[in-house]
Chain A
Amino acid sequence: MGKKLRIYLPFVNAGLQEVSTYRANWIFYILGDIMACFVSFFVWEAVFISTGGETFMGFARSDMVVYIFMSFLTGQIIGSGGTYNIGEEVKDGSIAMRMIKPISYNSTFLFQEIGNKIMEIGIIFVPLVAGVEIYRFAVTGSLKFDLLRFLLYLVCCVFAYAINFCFNICFGFTAFIFKNLWGSNMLKNTIVGFLSGSIIPIAFLPGVFKDILTFLPFSSLSYTPVMVYMGMYSGWEMLFFIGLQIFWTIVFWCLSKIIWKCVIKRLSIQGG
């Protein structure tokens, strides 16, 4: 295990350097992305003004703000570019260069991405969590931050990332079918974004949808970690949903292995 890790460490390093080279660009990108959070923030403010009440379908005003920004942060933590990278490499043939090396194809991606993440999350994590907690403190007048829940949130994020990583590998091989990576990637992100509750909390959806979405793998991606962070689940519920995350992690891990085995036999590369 230790030896294996040593092989992949340079990939983490490469990932770190990749982001630090284009740090300024990445910050502009994140500023553009976070704009949508502020839109949601103002829409919800207007909703609470219009209802005149303190809660909306069981969410207090401050809960909503925490939900919006923590969903955004969670999305960044669990985000995985596997789809795009695999697709690009299949298209331009550079996948061959990775495959002739005596290391696992997927692991090189994983470790490179972990490198990216350390850098990216390092920039936004503290400001976002601190901002959310200060806001909550200012509005409710009491400190709501709970260390245990925070640690459980991080655990949930690890599983969520694992699910998303494997899911994206499965999806990445659709590059064999679709050549429009931008289009199919956007289509996927939209559907996953909606089903994972990052646009509307799953609790707000009408009965049947809510039940279905709760058990589909997508709620494990963003909804579960955020709800754990917010303390919306009781002890047993929390255990159940983390169990569900573990279940989906195993399913998608197996699935990605199977798809990989099938697809790699058919891979043909022109030139390269």
Chain B
Amino acid sequence: MFREIKRALKMHRIFIVQELKRFMEYKGDFITGAIGLLLAQLCSIIFISVIFSQIPTLVGWSFNEVMFIYGFSLIPKAVDHLFFDNLWAVGHFIVRKGDFDKYLTRPINPLFHVMAEKFQVDAFGELVMGIVLLSCSLPSLDIEYSFMKILLTIVVVIFASFIYTGIKIGTSAIAFWTKRSGNIIFMFYMVNDFVKYPIDIYNNVVRSVLTYIIPFAFTAYFPALYFITGENPLFNIGMTIVVAIVVMTIGVLIWNRGIKAYESAGS
């Protein structure tokens, strides 16, 4: 078990180094992508600023709290985007073109291989924006810090990013049956737009969907709530970890069934 993990990590490092070489070759292109993502977030922030120029609080949330949740939501998203972006390609064309054969013939787990193959530098746009937002909003929030709290937050970001990855694994695997599922991944993925804001601005239906069905609320709102208030770590942190494990397990189960259904393209 331990040796396998060590081997996987080593392989992952090799893949990342390969990707970085590619990055150095097309530096300008990657920077354009990262700036694009950064600006996209900036537009939303201007949007929020315009709203708050007219009202003191948004259903009880202050500007800085909204900014904190917004910033927090970007970080797990960016982590998943950075490491596991290649799953989109599975849904868009890898299966359809029959290129998945390559992964089946290599002596590593195909899921691990396909996920580790790409290192998406564009994601730094989101990551930088998230960190900037957190650091700008933190000083004006009345938060009690402790070593435990910071440690828990870091752990929870890792698990929260697994929620993204798990959903992407499960939905990209649909392509094994339907040949392409890029747009299904997109549909599920876009639900994350909702959790950039405190979820109590939504009605009960939307809130339940975000908590129980497509549980993106655990990637931002609940962990951020713990960090801001320090309340209810058992639910806000504990449930995030449980949900991440459940989503990941479901995703991998769908993937494993899908791989058995995979038929190569006949060319």
Contact = CB atoms under 8 A, between A and B. Distances in A.
B202 interface: yes
A29 B183 contact: yes
A193 interface: yes
Contacts of A46: 58-59, 201
B186 A180 contact: no
Contacts, number: 111
B190 A51 contact: no
Interface of B: 26, 28-37, 39-40, 43-44, 46-47, 50-51, 54-55, 57-59, 122, 180, 182-184, 186-191, 193-194, 196-197, 201-203, 206
Interface stretch (A5-13, A34-42, A213-221, A260-268): A34-42
A187 B186 contact: no
16 contacts: A25-B180, A26-B183, A35-B193, A39-B193, A42-B197, A42-B201, A42-B206, A43-B51, A47-B54, A49-B59, A50-B55, A51-B55, A183-B29, A187-B33, A194-B46, A204-B50
Interface of A: 25-26, 28-29, 31-33, 35-36, 38-39, 42-43, 45-47, 49-51, 56-57, 178-180, 182-184, 186-187, 190-191, 193-194, 199-200, 204-205
B26 to A, nearest CB: 6
A64 to B, nearest CB: 11
Contacts of A32: 183, 186-190
Contacts of B54: 47, 51, 56-57
A191 B32 CA distance: 13
A31 B187 contact: yes
Contact of A187 (B36, B55, B193, B202): B36
Given A43-B201, A50-B55, A180 B30 contact: yes
